Structure 1
Amino acid sequence: MRLDRLDKEIESICRRFPWDRAIWFNGVWWSRGAFWGLVEAVTEKLYDSGFKSGMHLGLVMPNCPSFWAHVLAAWRLGGAVVPYNHREPVNAVTSALKHAKVSMVVLSKERSNLVDELNREHISWGLALYDAPFKESVQALPEYPGQEGGAVIFYTSGTGGKPKAVPLNHSSLYMNALSCIDQVEPIKDGDILLNALPNSHVLGFSICGLLPLLLNLSQCMLSSFMPVKNVLEAIRSSETNVLVGVPMMYQFITSALSQGESLPRR
């Protein structure tokens, strides 16, 4: 099955089930209706900034509702997103954003140290809170490096050399998410997935963040996996029952459990 516009599918679900729980973040549940309201607010901001079809939007943010609102807003306007690990050094981030020919970039407040370098590279930028659109009046650069249909450009870790750009379209993301689900035991209505992997990477983006939005599941979204004590508290508070992670994460969790921490029982 092909799906050419993920934003259309997610919008349909949010409008059909506006009161369903979508995202647990910082101790608060966001309904699908409230989350889509944020998407619409971001779309308006991007549109007013001149962001158009074929443009690339850079995102240097941790996991948060605003990250996904900017992703969907860019898609609604026919653009693609370039999420980059917000923990990377300034030169690595700006080099990737310049290579991807982003028309503008949205930063979290923790990465305001990028501003001077972005200005030197003549890249438009705006700062955004975790739960709101970017605040500054930004004019998108007239860059049209892509075409409508592109969804996201990921950058490899660079362990084998310089990080490489990997573009994916909407249909590729959709099939990647569903094929991963086919490899695990069935996820059912009412399940709550942990979204603690960096959404700037393909696994965290497609499985932890995107998949719950597509399948009308709930997610416990964390801006960081550390400290583990906070993760376990979030799991208990949100009643998360599906953990998506990498081996090192499970080692940290089991170590914390062996020292007296506990998980919810469902």
Structure 2
Amino acid sequence: MRGAVVVTGGGKGIGATIARRFAEAGHPVLIFDRDEAAAVSCAGDIRSHGGVASTFVGSVTSEEDVAQAMQLAVERYAQLAVLVNNAGISCNRPTLELELDEWRRTLDVNLTGVFLCAREFARRVSAGDTESVILNLCSMYGVVAAPNRLGYCATKSGVAMMTKSLAVEWAELNIRVNAIAPGYIRTALLEELIADGRVDAEALLGRTPQKRFGTVEEVADLAFFLASPETRFMTGQIVGLDGGWTANGYL
């Protein structure tokens, strides 16, 4: 059996698709999510297709929960191979209306959660011949700025710098650390926002050179590639997956 993969926020959306991608390749997967029903559903789907999956219900903002989740993965599957820091929340609000509690919550989930998970994962892998990989889900808004998203942009840019810093520090532990910076991905949430009129799909597509949204499968395929031996000389990189959005300086 291959080394275990821990996916935070793995119950649905991008996280669930990433979990399924690794499971299809023979990795046991631990789905770490606050939403018990979503986590159980995703794990059940993986098992129904012949994969190995288990769940841990908890929050990435809790030091105790994170430690317990990583320890469970070690006890159940022995070897940790990959951590996918996918859990995150949006914070779309004009800054003058942004409340301190919402700001702190965004920092806790998007930034502190990544730190806690990365630290506890690294504490449980052995330095040596066996390589381990941490993949952080950043965002194109961690690379370029956007109005009315201060909390989101600030935390995702923090994730980008954390990725680089940990990559340098943990190279000697044989841990590679990279990040994916997606643009607008066609998830159930995006579809809901479009249907409710809260997102202007036509405007977003008009701003994207490829004139389409990304797919969750494309994110999962990139995650799998970045964790593979083919990229073993690659660490500390923020890899964009945005249809050309951040390259497009022309409006």
Q: Give the TM-score taking structure 2 as reference length.
A: 0.30
Q: Give the TM-score taking structure 1 as reference length.
A: 0.28
